[in-house]
Amino acid sequence: MPLSALTGTRLRERRLANGIRQADLAATVGISASYLNLIEHDRRKVGGTLLVRLADALGFDRNALAQGSDTVLIEGLQSAASRGGALSVELTGLEDFASRFPGWAGLLVATDARVQTLERAVEALNDRMTHDPHLSQSLHEVLSSLSSVRATASILAETEDLDPDWAARFHRNLHHDSERLAVGAEALVAYLDAGSAIAEQGIAAPQEEVEDWLKARGWSFADATLVEGCDDEVAALASTAARSLARAYLARALGDARALPMAEFAQAVAEVGPDPFALAESFACDPLLVMRRLASLPDVGAGLVTCDASGTLTFRKPTAGFPLPRFGAACPLWPLYAALGRPSQPVETVVEMAGQGGRLHRVLAWATPGHPMGLRGPELREAAMLILPDDQPRQTALPIGSSCRICPRQTCPARREPSILSEARS
Amino acid sequence: MTGHVLLVEDEPNIAEAIRFILARDGLRVSHLADGLEALAAVRGDRPDLVILDHMLPGLSGLEILSAIRADPDTRTVPVMMLTARGRDREAAERAGADRFISKPFSNAEILAEVRAMMNR
């Protein structure tokens, strides 16, 4: 069976469409979930009997994987060409190229995907070093301990006539600081190690850890699972902060499930379509709740981002062709922020994400104000933006980006800082 | 050498080491760990030199430095900042610091810098 460079991607898409958990499929075909994860992200080749078992488990026509490979390759080549910047790329004859040199075409597409991954890694690490308070605090702690050890040790080593009381005092300080340094260094290493084990893109913060967990679950929980709870899975998360965020997420998801039971909700979506405002009207509930439920439906394939009143992204479920910033602020042109400034008013816009080959998305945004402490307390706002693929022919679309740091739109009027990719792209 | 140094540092063991080094050299050293108290002390005691850590509770080192430089009574007080990173150093320079010592510093380095500033 000839293999496409993106066979893993297609297997993953089919699994998600079937609503099968990664761990369950791995168990069915007799491999580990982590190995399946590598296959699905095209980091391990799959073939032979394993591919047959996967195809059978997913209800895939065994030949379909091979038959569709040219189409996938051509789409990948077109996508790579759109990111070529000033380079002139011959767009005619792509089919011939993919057909005659499938290996080279597959390599080019895979390399382009790899470049995108690395670009996100650059962004993540750059922002992590700049903005991550956990890393900054950890480094400061280590540096302070080290400063104290150095200064104290130097006094002990260089002062020949040191008073015994002072010597004892500095020895105690040295002991205390060396212990503190050891703890700080271990914590820092554990923090960096945990991140690199979770994803090669960067170092995981608690929010990323939770999102990686949700991603492995296909961003979806059966209502019954929410009622039972996922204590074991939450307990397996590395950091206390991530476990706290995960519990908050599950509590909210359970509330959503009770307000909009899946059977009833899925029926309404089948009739009305993924329109959060119409559905909210129909169920007499907050559009934010509907957006969260829609994002948990594998068939809809929607992305979702939420933010608080500061604009900080508090939840990120990505979707194909719409990369989300891992750290720092997102593109100020996102309709999410338009909604944040106009609470309780629906916003719908067709957008074109930079660097995605002209791919369009229809986004729907809404912000809900809240007063959890009553009118004497502060007004809080939460905004959400549902991101849906859009394949309708459009005359215009709002050009947006992921974040200024990796956006190639140099003349954007909303740019707040230079892109770290600008030199490579121009 | 004589003179009064106000050391503003929230890490007690670092503060103790610096106090020892400077006191042994003849300087009178007073120590505070809180940013707000430190600002009041600069205005009240008019030390000959302020050694200011960058990260402090209450007011940050940069905020204290900005307040010192904004007050006509204290704007000429020499300030040495203890910084951790290059970016902190640039910010401190913009805020009006006279000298910088990067952590982790050597005792000889901090003593030489203090002597140089006190003899200006």
Q: How far apart are the C-alpha atoms of A347 and A335, rounded to whole Å?
A: 7
3-state helix, strand, coil in chain B (%, to 5): 45, 20, 35
pLDDT (tens digit per residue) in A248-301: 999 999 999 999 999 999 999 999 999 999 999 999 999 999 999 999 998 888
Nearest to A173 among B13, B104, B108 (CB): B13
8 Å CB contact of A152 and B17: yes
For A:279-338, CB contacts with B below 8 A are none
Q: Is the pTM of this model over 0.80?
A: no
Q: Is A158 exposed, middle or buried (0-12, 13-18, 19+ CB in 10 A)?
A: exposed
Mean pLDDT (chain A, rounded): 83
Residue A160 phi, psi (nearest 5): -75, -35
Q: How far apart are the C-alpha atoms of A382 and A311, rounded to whole Å?
A: 9
pLDDT band at A65 (very low <50, low <70, confident <90, very high): low
pLDDT confidence of residue A334: 97
Minimal CA separation from A264 to chain B, in Å: 54
Residue A60 has pLDDT above 80, yes or no: no
Asked if residue A300 lies in contact with residue A319, where contact means CB atoms within 8 angstroms, the answer is no
pLDDT (tens digit per residue) in A138-169: 777 888 888 899 899 999 998 888 899 999 99
8 Å CB contact of A150 and B105: yes
User: For residue A226, how many other CB atoms are within 10 A of its CB?
Assistant: 20
Q: Is A358 exposed, middle or buried (0-12, 13-18, 19+ CB in 10 A)?
A: exposed
Burial A112-145 (b: 16+ CB within 10 A, else e): bbeebeebbbbbbbbbbeeebebbbebbbbbbbb
Identify all chain A residues contacting B84, using CB atoms and an 8 Å cutoff: 139-140, 143
pLDDT (tens digit per residue) in A3-15: 454 577 778 878 8
pLDDT band at A228 (very low <50, low <70, confident <90, very high): confident
Residue A309 has pLDDT above 90, yes or no: yes
pLDDT confidence of residue A69: 56
Asked if residue A404 lies in contact with residue A419, where contact means CB atoms within 8 angstroms, the answer is yes
Residue A47 has pLDDT above 60, yes or no: yes
Cβ of residue A139 closer than 8 Å to a chain B Cβ = yes
pLDDT (tens place) for every residue of chain B, 120 residues total: 789 999 999 899 999 999 999 999 999 999 999 888 898 999 999 999 999 998 887 788 888 999 999 999 999 999 999 886 556 777 788 888 999 888 888 899 999 999 999 886
pLDDT confidence of residue A201: 42
Beta bridge partners of A353: A400
Q: How far apart are the C-alpha atoms of A146 and A37, rounded to whole Å?
A: 41
Asked if residue A157 lies in contact with residue B24, where contact means CB atoms within 8 angstroms, the answer is no
Nearest to A143 among B103, B106, B108 (CB): B103
Where is pLDDT greater, at A371 or A65?
A: A371
Minimal CA separation from B56 to chain A, in Å: 12
User: For residue A27, how many other CB atoms are within 10 A of its CB?
Assistant: 14
pLDDT confidence of residue A193: 62
Residue A56's identity, in one-letter code, is D
B58 torsion bin: left (phi>0), alpha (psi -120 to 50), beta (else): left
Q: Is A246 exposed, middle or buried (0-12, 13-18, 19+ CB in 10 A)?
A: buried
Residue B59's identity, in one-letter code, is L
Minimal CA separation from B14 to chain A, in Å: 5
Place of tokens 């301990």: A145
Identify all chain A residues contacting B105, using CB atoms and an 8 Å cutoff: 147, 150-151
Nearest to B105 among A147, A152, A176 (CB): A147
Q: Is A395 exposed, middle or buried (0-12, 13-18, 19+ CB in 10 A)?
A: exposed
Q: Is B109 exposed, middle or buried (0-12, 13-18, 19+ CB in 10 A)?
A: exposed
Identify all chain A residues contacting B18, using CB atoms and an 8 Å cutoff: 151
Cβ of residue A150 closer than 8 Å to a chain B Cβ = yes
pLDDT band at A426 (very low <50, low <70, confident <90, very high): very low
pLDDT (tens digit per residue) in A96-127: 777 677 788 888 888 888 787 777 667 666 66
| Structural domain boundaries in chain A | 7-124, 133-198, 205-259, 293-425
CATH code at A293-425: 3.30.450
Minimal CA separation from A249 to chain B, in Å: 33
- Angle (CA) A279-A293-A230 rounded to 5° is 155
Q: How far apart are the C-alpha atoms of A167 and A70, rounded to whole Å?
A: 76
How many CA atoms lie within 13 Å of A104's alpha carbon, on the beta-carbon side?
Answer: 8
pLDDT confidence of residue A39: 85
ipTM: 0.88
Nearest to A151 among B18, B24, B84 (CB): B18
pLDDT confidence of residue A129: 62
Asked if residue A328 lies in contact with residue A131, where contact means CB atoms within 8 angstroms, the answer is yes
Average pLDDT over residues A189-213: 66
User: For residue A234, how many other CB atoms are within 10 A of its CB?
Assistant: 18
CATH code at A7-124: 1.10.260.40
Minimal CA separation from B74 to chain A, in Å: 28
pLDDT confidence of residue A95: 73
pLDDT band at A217 (very low <50, low <70, confident <90, very high): confident
Residue A288 phi, psi (nearest 5): -60, -40
Q: How far apart are the C-alpha atoms of A242 and A392, rounded to whole Å?
A: 39
User: For residue A30, how many other CB atoms are within 10 A of its CB?
Assistant: 8
**CB-based contacts of A44: which residues, under 8 Å, 6+ apart?**
A8, A35, A38
Nearest to B13 among A139, A159, A177 (CB): A177
Where is pLDDT greater, at A35 or A52?
A: A35
C-alpha dihedral over A282, A288, A293, A299, to 10 degrees?
A: 90
Residue percentage of chain A with pLDDT more than 90: 35
Query: A58: closest CA among A31, A1, A20?
Result: A20
Query: A274: closest CA among A252, A301, A249?
Result: A301
pLDDT (tens digit per residue) in A380-400: 999 999 999 988 877 789 999
Instruction: Write down all domains in chain B, each with its CATH number in brackets.
Output: 4-118 (3.40.50.2300)
A93 torsion bin: left (phi>0), alpha (psi -120 to 50), beta (else): left
